[in-house]
């Protein structure tokens, strides 16, 4: 696109594929079982996907949803849709039909690409306003998705982005109101966060990246674009089976993958676990790795990196950078230091810890404040929610809702969560959403849900329930009630019946319940 400013072009991660297809046309870009696509083929498939959408009536700014595991189709959507000037809406495959329906309606999606395995999640929904494209994920000519590509043009796409602050994706977060919010991510933010990933986790053209992290989570922490930018290889994976992952580590010579600590716990405890003959960088977020896990990883030649971020920050925005001098410290001290969330990415401004007036707290490792940040990799705002956006952006900062201390060396360390959010195995769970589901039961008077520590998942929801007079319920009945209405990972693991603690004004004191569950733990995050 022409411009009077010859010294400037608008930043977009779509350009990463254009370049890699020119520079590395014959290099393997995507591995998926028996399928292999070079960068030239990857680029052609993206062009065909974009052309097919144009043929189907796409207009600039359309929201296009996709419900898929980590397949080539989802990776291709991360380039084709933004290249057209559309907005990608990646949907969590673990959601229940009502939750999917809300996202489709709220986003105003015009198209839905649906992996056949997840079609039951939408089969009963009213999809009259959507154009539906099924994906059987065979890669064969009779796959409807492959037919969609084959019928379209492979011609290179024109560059249509004339404003890098245009949204390219809308990623839904659990929020704190019981309904998810659409987080608007821009071409500029995605480009810069992808470049940050390259620097911070050490990617280069020899990197072979295994997709254990869902691409629908913050666009795979922007690694969908980062791996492509440096001409690395994407190894796609439909589902995570630790034994199968161990096989891929050897067969494909994996160098990097990202995950929640829960996945790595499964990996080190697999029957196939063994010391690797080459180091594998494992970037983890959601909760800090435990000393036990770190020791096990070291024995197996995994190199851990601890990251922190939110959907509103395109995924990771801080890294616990590891100074060489820390290597001389005892193992327990190393584990304690690695549990810190660290400092801002090279593409981010300083991540701060502030008081209620948005002033920095002392860097003494003791004063608790709220994690706040601003800069290039902060969302543009919440879709059609100006009040929620204004609240999050007050005082010129994005307020995360996470509580932390600030150490003298500038590293932040989380201590608690201000939002009613539980992070379980890397998945966000809104306690309010769970509460609102439980109180729909005719026998329930009121309910409070808090986090409780969990050895495997870090933390899980626990429900405290006051029943209506004369009513009886069991823990199993409540859990079953939730499982019929919520994604299973959101459902409580435990239920306790009785009167709820309240203030003099009748507000439930959730902090009292949380303290009871976390008694004996130094932190209220696990």
Sheet holding 181-186, edge to edge: 131-135, 111-115, 63-67, 87-91, 167-173, 181-186, 381-382
Report the percent of the chain where pLDDT is more than 90: 74
C-alpha R_g of the chain: 23
Q: What is the pLDDT of residues 367-410, one digit of tens each?
A: 889 999 999 999 999 999 999 999 999 999 999 988 888 999 99
Mean pLDDT across the chain, nearest whole number? 92
- pLDDT 10s digits, 296-317: 898 999 999 999 999 999 999 9
CA distance 320 to 439: 41
**Structure token digits, residue 521:** 């733990």
Give the Cα separation of 23 and 91 in Å (integer): 32
The predicted-structure confidence for 136-190, as pLDDT tens digits, reads as follows: 999 999 999 999 999 999 999 888 899 999 999 999 986 444 578 999 999 999 9
Phi/psi for 344 (5° steps) reads -65, 150
Q: Determine phi and psi for 319, rounding to 5 degrees.
A: -140, 140
Query: What's the CA gap between 493 and 452, in Å, rounded?
Result: 9
Percent of the chain scoring above 70 in pLDDT: 95
- State the DSSP H helix or E strand holding residue 197, giving kind and residue range, or none if neither: helix 187-200
Show the domains of the chain with their CATH numbers.
Answer: 14-239 (3.40.50.12780), 421-517 (3.30.300.30)
Residues in the chain, total: 526
C-alpha distances in Å from residue 425, one per residue of 49, 204, 307, 350, 460: 33, 28, 14, 27, 9
pTM: 0.85
pLDDT at 433: 76
């Amino acid at each position: 696109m022409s411009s009077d400013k010859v010294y400037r072009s608008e930043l977009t991660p779509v350009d990463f594929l254009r370049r890699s297809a020119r520079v590395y046309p014959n290099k393997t870009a995507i591995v998926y079982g028996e399928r292999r696509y070079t960068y030239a083929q990857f680029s052609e498939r993206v062009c065909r996907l974009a052309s097919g959408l144009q043929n189907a009536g796409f207009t600039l700014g359309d929201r296009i949803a996709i419900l898929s595991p980590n397949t080539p189709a989802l990776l291709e959507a991360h380039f084709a849709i933004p290249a057209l000037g559309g907005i990608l809406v990646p949907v969590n495959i673990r959601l229940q039909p009502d939750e999917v329906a809300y996202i489709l309606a709220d986003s105003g999606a015009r198209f839905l690409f649906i992996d056949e395995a997840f079609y039951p999640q939408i089969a009963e929904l009213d999809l009259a306003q959507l154009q539906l494209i099924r994906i059987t994920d065979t890669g064969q000519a009779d796959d409807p998705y492959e037919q969609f590509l084959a019928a379209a043009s492979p011609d290179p796409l024109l560059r249509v982005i004339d404003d890098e602050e245009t949204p390219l994706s809308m990623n839904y977060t659990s929020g704190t109101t019981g309904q998810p919010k659409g987080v608007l991510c821009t071409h500029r933010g995605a480009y810069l966060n992808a470049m940050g990933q390259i620097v911070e986790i050490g990617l280069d053209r020899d990197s072979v990246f295994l997709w254990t992290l869902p691409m629908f989570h913050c666009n795979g922490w922007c690694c969908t674009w980062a791996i492509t930018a440096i001409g690395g290889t994407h190894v796609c994976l439909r589902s995570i089976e630790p034994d199968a992952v161990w096989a891929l580590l050897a067969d494909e010579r994996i160098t990097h993958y990202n995950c929640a600590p829960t996945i790595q716990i499964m990996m080190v405890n697999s029957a196939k676990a063994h010391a690797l003959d080459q180091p594998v960088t494992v970037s983890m977020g959601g909760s800090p790795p435990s000393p036990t896990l770190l020791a096990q990883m070291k024995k197996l030649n995994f190199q851990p990196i601890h990251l922190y971020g939110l959907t509103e920050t395109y995924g990771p925005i801080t890294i616990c950078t590891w100074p060489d001098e820390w290597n001389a410290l005892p193992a327990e001290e190393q584990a304690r230091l690695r549990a810190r969330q660290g400092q801002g990415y090279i593409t981010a401004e300083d991540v701060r810890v502030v008081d209620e007036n948005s002033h920095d707290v002392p860097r003494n490792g003791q004063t608790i404040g709220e994690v706040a940040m601003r800069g290039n990799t902060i969302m543009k705002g919440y879709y059609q929610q100006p009040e929620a956006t204004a609240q999050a952006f007050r005082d010129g900062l994005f307020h995360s809702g996470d509580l932390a201390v600030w150490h003298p060396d500038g590293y932040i360390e989380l201590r608690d969560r201000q939002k009613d959010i539980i992070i379980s195995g890397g998945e966000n769970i809104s306690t309010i959403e769970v509460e609102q589901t439980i109180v729909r039961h005719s026998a329930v008077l009121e309910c409070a849900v808090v986090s409780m520590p969990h050895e495997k998942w870090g933390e899980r929801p626990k429900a405290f329930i006051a029943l209506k007079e004369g009513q009886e319920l069991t823990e199993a009945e409540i859990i079953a009630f939730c499982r019929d209405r919520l994604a299973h990972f959101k459902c409580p693991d435990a239920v306790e019946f009785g009167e709820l603690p309240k203030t003099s004004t009748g507000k439930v004191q959730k902090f009292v319940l949380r303290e009871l569950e976390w008694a004996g733990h130094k932190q209220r995050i696990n």
